[in-house]
């Protein structure tokens, strides 16, 4: 793992997997790369591990792709 990455709890990872399988939309709050918090409604598509971190691949309501490092997500809820 990347030494900057903090692994998330397995239960939370499983909730993301269930949201993907059921095609559930999530309201996600995350800490962006420019130290700005972002809030967006997303449909998670996949979870990936790369560069020592875990990431959610998602699409917003306009169909734009988002790649969010899981340990940067502050809050997510099914809507």
- Sketch the domain layout of the chain as residue ranges: 10-78
Fold of 10-78: SH3 type barrels. (2.30.30)
- Give the pLDDT band of residue 1 (cuts 50, 70, 90): low
Residue 26: predicted pLDDT: 98
Q: Which residue, chain included where needed, has tokens 């997303």?
A: 42
Burial class (CB in 10 A: 0-12, 13-18, 19+), 16: buried
Q: What is the pTM of this model?
A: 0.89
- Give the pLDDT band of residue 33 (cuts 50, 70, 90): confident
Of 20, 24, 40, give the one whose Cα is nearest residue 72: 40
- For the segment 19-41, the average pLDDT, to the nearest whole number, is 94
Q: Read off the pLDDT of residues 48-65 as tens digits, 9 standing for 90 and up.
A: 999 899 999 999 999 999
Residue 52 has phi, psi (to 5 degrees) of 75, 15
């Amino acid at each position: 793992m990347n030494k900057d990455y903090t692994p998330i709890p397995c239960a939370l990872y499983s909730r993301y997997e269930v949201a993907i399988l059921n095609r559930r939309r999530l309201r996600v709050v995350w800490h962006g790369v420019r130290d700005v918090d972002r809030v967006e409604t997303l449909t998670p598509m996949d979870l990936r591990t790369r560069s020592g971190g875990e990431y959610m691949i998602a699409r917003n309501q306009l169909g734009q792709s988002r790649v969010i490092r899981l340990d940067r997500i502050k809050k997510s809820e099914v809507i």
